[in-house]
Structures are given as structure tokens and as C-alpha cells.
Structure 1
Amino acid sequence: MIFSMTGYAARTLDVDCGALHIELKSVNSRYLDFQFRLSDELRIVEPALRELFASRLTRGKLECRLNFVSATAHAQSLVLNVELLQRLKSFDDRIRSELVNAAPLAVSDVLRWPGMFAEDALDIEALLPDCLIVAKDVLEDFSASRAREGEKLAAVILERVARMRELVREVAPRIPAAQAAFQEKLKQRLFDAIHSVDDERIRQEVAVFAVRIDVAEELARLSTHLDEVERVLKAGGACGKRLDFLMQELNREANTLGSKSVVSEVSQTAMELKLLIEQMREQIQNLE
């Protein structure tokens, strides 16, 4: 199965004291990179989440958001933790007595302070298994979304491969006749320009030049690399780096084909091949 590096999934798990909400999204990256945005009370679960995600993913920049919503979060009346409030007030007074220019604590800061409300007191240890359960569930959805995107990208790449094969098939039969005509034209020009050189010498020089402009080897290597692209896509897995290398090889052969061309048909084909290779490369940048 082919996986894209871009994906998204979200899950919510109801627990006794509230609900856990987790969200995963990822974009391209050369390596596997994690960004965890967890509420303070759930920071303890980060190592376990990192290990879980690393066991399933190989490339991409993954952002994970996990937070806990208390069952009483939307209650009409909330009970403040008076003891904690007094301690914060004491700290605030003391700090501003030493640092006269210090800004006082804002109400919003106080209300967001961990443990400020009675329902903030959580049994984190009891909540950890639930965190892993919802993380495993969302990871399945996330992997499925990346697989769907990867399938679409693979189809686009295979379309370009088919078009490249078509171009090679179309131009290959025309090359010998076109090169023969060019050799005769070149021989005549040389003969007209250098009357003192015998015809055999001209034929030898043209034969040497013909070897240099022969593109049969480039066309054969192009076909071989296209075979490998199809094989890698069929094998699936984390194939982005391998395919990116194959794009470099295909581009090298297309460049050589263009530089050795002496007929417009081959030059035009080389240009179209390079355009298709670049289109494939853009898609491959999204593959794991």
C-alpha cells in the first residue's frame, strides 16, 4: 500500500469524568517529525504517543493535539479553588512588591491556571489507558486517509509513466531514418566545403558522429527506469525516497536524449518527457 505524507483524522472518546479529543494532521517532510500540542495535565502521555506513532509512520511532519474536556466544563456554576487562588494572589503581591513594573495577573490567566476549578483534579494515571485507546483508534483513521491519498498519487504517477512509454514508442521507429537523412545531409555539406578530402574520409567522420548522436541506449534506459517505477509502486510501502531517486535518473536520460538530438522529433520528445518527469516528481514529494 502506498501512503501519502499528508493526512488528517480526529476522534473523541467519552470517559467517566469527561471526554478525550485527539486530532492528527501531517504534511510533507524529509524525515519523521512530531509536534505535540497537549493540555498540561496530559503531558505525561507524550512519550507513549511518540512511540506509538513512530511504530506506524516513517516520514512526514505530524501534529498531534490531545485535550481533555471535563464533564462539568459547561456547568452553569463553577467552584473556584480558593486555596490556590489565595496562593496565586500572594505570589502576585510579592512579585509586584519586588518588581514594581511587573504586570499583575490577568483574570484570564487565573481562570486558565491548572487546578483552578474543582473539576480540574483528574486521576491522570487512570486516564492514560484511555489516551492510548483513542490514539490507536485515530491512528487507524489517519493511516486510512493517508492510504487513500497515496492511492490517488500513485494513479497520477502511473498515468505519467504510461504517457512516457507512449512517447518513447512513437519516437523510436523514426530515429534511424531521421539520423540517416541527417548523416547524408551532413556528408554533402562536408564534401561541398572540403573538396580536397576524399569521400571515404568523410564517411568515416560521419560514422564517428553517428555513434555520438545514437540515442538507442538512452531510450532503453528510460524504459528500464519506467519499469522500476511501476515495480516500486506495485510493491508499496515507504517508497518516496526510492521514487525520487528514479526521477533523477529519468531526468538524466531525458537531458542526454535532448543534448544528442539532431532531429526535431527527438528534441520535442525530450522536452515532453522532462515535463512529465517534473509532474511525477511533484506528486512523489507527497509520498511517504
Structure 2
Amino acid sequence: MSQQPISSMTGFGRSSAQHGNVSILVEIKSVNGRGLDIRGRLSPGLDSLDADIRRLIGEKLARGSVSILVNIRREAVDTDLVVNDRALDRVLTLIDKISERVDARKPSIETILSLKGIMEAQEPELSPDEEAALHSAILDCVGVALLALIETRRAEGERIGAVIAQRVEEIAFLADTARAHPSLARGAILTRLRDQVTALMDTDKGLSAERLHQEAMLLATRADIAEELDRFSAHVTAARDLLGKGGPIGRKLDFLSQEFNREANTLCSKSNDVSLTAIGLDLKATIDQLREQVQNLE
């Protein structure tokens, strides 16, 4: 099976189209988000398209905070002039009230009709078929902008994926370096344990054999980081597999980065050697860099 693209959650897409006398503009941008959050700004009269637009985006994107602007502008067409009856009634009522208090000539019809809001230009209503055709053209434009957004997210994802892969290999190298560290050789561990047990016996002459055995077991457990290094290897393999498969892998890689960090903390706490502790600190720094990049992935 071929690798799926790795995508960032950051991107931008834009598309415009002309449908009859209507100009359509669609802009989509996305930034990092915990899930898929879609916010839309649609021109008046397009609210019925909101669900379809969300469906289109949901089919293509898994994560990200997405903002979409859909704007339409109608060019000048033959319009009908109509009287706003409510506005006219208010004006006539006001004229009658003023006439009762002031002896003045009433305004002419021309004057009344020239008042703002009395006459309105009304565009002819679209037939159901015309409205359906317009909505289809708008959704097509949304689709084009969405594809442009996806391309920018994938381009950024490819760059981030390469950085993440490099960090994973650095973690693998550091973990292998820790595994080969001289302080973890069997002889070195036995010598260190023997010295520590001797120190325990010297500091407390009354230490019972059972207590001494418990302390020795605890020291041995602290000296052994083989389990942590094995888990490092398993996590590295899992990260490589995810990067190889691609797709929306941000959440899984974020979980792995937390697991990496947990093992690095344990390694540092168990280390009895300064240079081994330094390797653990290098691991933690590299893991932090890994997680910083992972936060941007879909």
C-alpha cells in the first residue's frame, strides 16, 4: 500500500468563479486545533449551504481550526422598485401629527418618495432551478478552494515530516548510545552494587540480612535501565511505521512523544553516571523538539 501524504494543520486556499451575473469568492484557512473546528462566514441568503460546506470539509480534513469565507456579489441587473409600506406608514403618521401642531403645507408625493427607505430596489427572485444551479456553483468553488488548502497543508506536512523523521533517528541513536554505555556493562553494575552494599553495611552495623537484601534489590532495580531502552526501541519502531504509512498521524505521534519523554525521565533518574545522565538530557531535548513539530501535524 502506498504511503498517504502527511499534512500540517496550517494552510490556505482561495477560489473564485462567475455564475451568470453572480461573482463567487471562497477563502479557506486553517490553523492548529485539537479536533476539527469549522467556522463559516457566508453571504446573506446562503445559510442553507452551511451543512453541505461542513460536510465537504469534514470529508477531506481530520483536524484543524478551519475558517471559511463565502462571498457572492451580484452585478447590476434589472430591478423592480417597490414601496416599503411600513416605512411609508410611519412617515405619513408623523406628517399627520406634525400637521396638527404646525400650520404648514404637507410635503408632495415626490418628496415623500425621495426619503431614504421609502423606495427600495428589489432584485427578481430566483426560480428553484436557478437557485439550485447557483448553490451548485458555490459548492464547486468551495471544493476548488478546499483542494488548494489541502495542497498547502500537504506541502507543509512534507517539510515537518522530514524534520520529525530526523528527530526520531536522533532519538534512536541516543538510545543505542545509552545501551552501549560502559556503566551499563554487567561487570560495572556488579562493582557499583558491591560498593553500595558495602557502604550500607558500614553506615549501619545493625542492618538485618533481610533489610540488606531489600536494599540490594532496590539498588539493582535502579541500576537496570534495560527495560526503558527496550521501550525506546519499540517506540522508535512505532514512530517509523507511522511516518511510513502517513495520513492523519498527529495524535498518535503526540502520544509516542509523551512515552519517549517518560522513558527519558526514568533513564535520568536511574543513572549513576554523569555521562549517561548527559545522554538522557540530550534525549529529553530532542524529544521536546520532536513534540514541538508533532503539534503541527493533522
Using the size of structure 2 for normalisation, the TM-score is: 0.76
Checking the alignment, whether the CA contact within 8 Å between 1:22 and 1:67 is kept in structure 2 is: yes
What is the CA-CA distance between 1:136 and the residue it aligns to? 1.5
Residue of structure 1 in register with 2:112 after alignment: none
1:246 to 229, 250, 256: 256
Q: CA offset at residue 215 of structure 1?
A: 0.6
Aligned pairs (5 A) from 1:1-288: 1-72=5-76, 82-83=81-82, 86-87=84-85, 89-90=87-88, 117=121, 123-174=130-181, 175-177=183-185, 179-180=189-190, 182-190=192-200, 192-193=202-203, 206=216, 209-288=219-298
CA contact (8 A) 2:82 2:121 kept: no
Note the alpha carbon deviations across 1:220-252, whole angstroms, 9 max, x for none.
Answer: 111110110111111111212211221222122
Distance in 2 (alpha carbons) for counterparts of 1:91 and 1:38: 33
TM-score (norm 1): 0.79
- Name the SS of the counterpart of 1:283 in structure 2: helix
User: By how many angstroms is 1:166 displaced?
Assistant: 1.7
C-alpha distance in structure 1 between counterparts of 2:297 and 2:89, whole Å: 52
Contact 1:10–1:138 (8 Å) recurs in 2: yes
SS in 2 for 1:237: coil
Aligned to 1:101: none
Structure 2 unpaired stretches of 5+: 95-115
Report how far residue 90 of structure 1 moved.
4.0
Question: SS in structure 2 opposite 1:245?
Answer: helix
Residues in 2 aligned to 1:284 and 1:173: alpha-carbon distance in whole angstroms = 29
AA aligned to 1:83 is V
Number of residue-to-residue matches in the alignment: 265
Structure with the greater alpha carbon radius of gyration: 2
Deviation at 1:262, TM superposition (A): 1.2
Cα distance between partner residues in 2 of 1:81 and 1:181: 99
Deviation, 1:24, is 0.6
Distance 1:66 1:117, change over 3 A: farther
Q: Is the 8 A contact 1:171 1:265 kept in 2?
A: no
Q: Distance in 2 between matches of 1:216 and 1:47?
A: 54
Tell me, in whole angstroms, the C-alpha distance in 1 between the residues paired with 2:212 and 2:49: 80
Assess, with a 3 A threshold, how the Cα gap between structure 1 residues 268 and 39 changes in structure 2: closer, same or farther.
same
